[in-house]
């Protein structure tokens, strides 16, 4: 079901209220504490929650907290304000929603910024409990980890300077320098299936943005949902060129074999009511991104 503008505005208020509650609260509260104060208007923190058969949940429960891997430089998806430290975005709120469903409040969540190339290892090592950050579900990655979802579908695109008139799609990259991120699916695809003049790879997309703004590269390639967030920040300098040329299905990265946690997160996506729509309207629709909630696998 699509939600109205008014409901989107409500989500904004609800999230602002959540941030405020986070600032005002004192010491961290134990998981499962529950109560009206935990209600942010979109979801409630689960009361007295238990997840039998989940080794990952058992660790969260022991430490009275959840450790989530995210991005910090992708506006609208996973973003950290350098001055305030506040984390915002669709992916970050999906991570918060999952934490709440497991009985954890905002103060119980530790966010770890982890770049694309290090995601599988962070999960395999047990450094994080789960990862929510523009993480495409692939068979290669599934050899090491599991994915809940998909919770969002986008496609690979190209970002160029606003005054660029040479590049209108991935077939226009002969002689051009294209920037992307180490360990990402778009970097692999542009090398395997297209013929750019050259590629440059960095740890983060914001480093590619700097390179593009300085004229060091001709284009950036990654998911359109990510690129649209950068265009929304700098509409006079940047534009998306052409149409998406892949399907990127975002999943929540989970430790391999924890089927109890996998089923729980998929159940949340399936039975989550209007939460997904509210988060989409709040974080992605303003950048002009189109989308609807996909069915989980």
Binding site for ligand GLU (CB under 6 A): 116, 133-136, 181, 184-186, 222-223, 248
Smallest gap from residue 226 Cβ to ligand GLU (A): 6
Strand stretches in the chain, DSSP E: 66-70, 73-74, 78-80, 87-88, 109-113, 130-131, 145-154, 156-161, 177-181, 198-202, 219-223, 238-241, 248-255
Alpha-carbon Rg for the chain, nearest whole angstrom, is 19
| Shortest spacing between CB 231 and ligand GLU, in angstroms | 16
Query: Between 251 and 255, whose beta carbon lies closer to ligand GLU?
Result: 251
CB of 222 to ligand GLU, least distance (A): 5
Shortest distance in whole angstroms from residue 145 CB to ligand GLU: 12
Report the residue number, 104 or 131, with the smaller CB distance to ligand GLU: 131
Closest CA to 103 of 184, 24, 32: 32
Sign of CA dihedral 235, 239, 243, 248: negative
Q: Which is nearer to ligand GLU, 184 or 266 (CB)?
A: 184
Instruction: Check residue 240 and report its DSSP letter.
Output: E
For residue 77, the SS3 value is coil
Nearer to ligand GLU, 42 or 77 (CB): 77
- Residues for the chain: how many in total? 297
11/284 with CB nearer ligand GLU: 284
The minimum distance between CB 281 and ligand GLU, in angstroms, equals 22
């Amino acid at each position: 079901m699509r939600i109205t503008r008014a409901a989107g505005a409500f989500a904004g208020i609800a999230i602002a209220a959540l941030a405020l509650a986070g600032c005002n609260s004192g010491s961290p509260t134990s998981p499962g504490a529950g109560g009206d104060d935990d209600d942010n208007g979109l979801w409630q923190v689960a009361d007295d929650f238990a997840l039998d058969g989940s080794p990952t949940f058992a660790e969260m429960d022991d430490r009275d907290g959840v450790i989530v891997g995210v991005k910090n430089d992708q506006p609208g998806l996973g973003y950290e304000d350098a001055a305030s430290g506040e984390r915002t975005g669709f992916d970050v709120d999906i991570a918060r929603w999952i934490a709440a469903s497991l009985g954890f409040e905002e103060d119980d969540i530790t966010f770890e910024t982890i770049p694309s190339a290090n995601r599988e290892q962070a999960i395999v090592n047990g450094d994080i409990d789960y990862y929510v950050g523009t993480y495409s579900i692939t068979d290669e990655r599934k050899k090491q980890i599991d994915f809940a979802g998909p919770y969002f579908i986008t496609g690979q695109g190209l970002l160029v300077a606003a005054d660029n008139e040479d590049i209108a799609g991935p077939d226009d990259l002969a002689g051009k320098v294209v920037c992307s991120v180490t360990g990402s699916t778009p970097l692999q695809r542009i090398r395997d299936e297209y013929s750019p003049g050259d590629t440059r790879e960095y740890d983060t997309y914001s480093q590619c943005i700097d390179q593009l703004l300085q004229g060091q590269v001709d284009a950036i390639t990654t998911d359109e949902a990510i690129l649209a967030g950068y265009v929304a920040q700098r509409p006079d300098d940047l534009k998306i060129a052409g149409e998406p040329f892949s399907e990127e299905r975002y999943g929540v990265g989970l430790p391999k074999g924890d089927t109890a946690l996998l089923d729980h997160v998929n159940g949340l996506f399936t039975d989550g009511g209007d939460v997904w729509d509210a988060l989409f309207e709040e974080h992605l629709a303003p950048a002009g991104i189109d989308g609807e909630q996909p069915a989980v696998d």
